[in-house]
Amino acid sequence: EIIRQLTAGAHQNSAPAVLLSFDPHPAVVFGAQDLKCLTTPNERAEIIQALGVDYVITQTFDKNIANQTAEEYMALMVRHLGLKKLLIGYDFALGKGRAGNYEKLTQIGLESGFDVLRVEAIRFEDGIVSSSIIRQRLADGDVAGAAAKLGRYYAVSGPVNPGDGRGRTIGIPTANVEAPADKALPANGVYACYAWVDGQKHPAVTNVGVRPTFDSGKNIPRVEAHLLDASADYYGKIMRLEFVERLRGEQKFPSIEALVAQIHADIDQARKILSP
C-alpha cells in the first residue's frame, strides 16, 4: 500500500518515486543475529521496481547511521534527494532512540519543506500484516498463509550447485539450490513449488531440511527441488523457487524404497495443486 501510494503520488506530480531501505536489518546490527531476511537487497529491488518505483536505494545500516538524530538524517535526505514528500508505515521511526516518529518527522518536514504521509496498517482477520507475522508463518511451514499476506509467493533464489547425486540414483534428480545464508527458509518439509530458471516456469516438489534418511545427525538445512517436467542440467544457473503449499513435514524413512514411494505420492499431490 505504501508503494502504491508512493508511485501514484510521484507520477501525478511528474516526480521520481524513490524507495529507501536498509541492509542489514537494524535488529541484526543491534544483536538479533538470528533474524533472517525475507528478501535480499537484489530481490527487494526487483520486486519494488516491478511495482513502478523509479529508484531503489539500499543504504548500509550501521551504528553510525543509528546514532544520527532524525534531524541530521532528514537533512541529508533533503540535500541529496530533493525530498518533497515522505511516505512512512504506521509504526515507522528513525534516528537515534527512534525519536523520528510520525509527529517528529512532520515537525521536521514543516521546517525543511517536505510533507509526511503515514500509511495505516493493513489488517486481516487474524491481525496486522507485519514481517514478524510472515516470519512466523514460514517457521510454521504455512507458505500459503505467508503468500496471502505478501500478495505473492514467498521465494528463495540461489545458484544450483552439484550435490551428492543421490536423487539421480533413485530416479528422482534434484537441483540443489544454495540459498543465501541470511535468508529465511520455510520450516523443514516438502512443498509444492514453481521453479523459475532460464526464464521458464516449471512445477516442482522441493524439500527443505536435513535429509534424515541419508544424513542422520546433520542439522544444516538444504534446499533441493525436483522439477516435474524438466531434466536439464542446471548447474551454475540461478533458480528461483516460489513456495505454493506445504505437502508434509520432513520424515525419516525405514528404507530407500519407502522414501521413493512417498516422493512419488508427493509428486502426484503437487501436480494436482499446481495444475492450471
Q: What is the pLDDT of residues 12-54, one digit of tens each?
A: 889 999 999 988 888 788 875 578 899 998 999 999 999 899 9
Q: Is 224 a catalytic residue?
A: yes
Rounded to 5 degrees, φ, ψ at 152 are -165, 165
pLDDT score, position 257: 92
Angle, nearest 10°, between helix axes 102-112 and 70-81? Answer: 50
* pLDDT, position 269: 98
Which residue ranges make up each domain of the chain? Answer: 2-121, 151-274
- For 20, the enclosing helix (H) or strand (E) is strand 18-23
Q: What is the pLDDT of residue 32?
A: 59
Buried (b) or exposed (e) across 168-189, using 16+ Cβ within 10 A? eeeebbbbbbebeeebbbbbbb
**Does the CA dihedral 264-268-274-276 come out positive or negative?**
positive
Q: Which CATH superfamily is domain 151-274 in?
A: Riboflavin kinase-like (2.40.30.30)
Residue 214 has a pLDDT of 65
Task: For residue range 244-269, list pLDDT tens digits in order.
Answer: 999 999 998 989 899 999 999 999 99
Q: Tell me, yes or no, if the two domains 2-121 and 151-274 fold the same way.
A: no
Distance CA 28, CA 49 (A): 25
Instruction: Please give the pLDDT value at position 166.
Output: 74
pLDDT, residue 163, reads: 74
CA distance 256 to 258: 5
pTM (predicted TM-score): 0.86
What are the 10-residue block averages of pLDDT along the chain, 276 residues in total?
88 91 84 80 90 92 92 95 92 92 97 94 76 94 95 96 78 92 95 96 95 65 92 88 97 90 96 92
Which is the CATH superfamily of the domain at 2-121?
Answer: HUPs (3.40.50.620)
Catalytic residue among 125, 224, 242, 245: 224
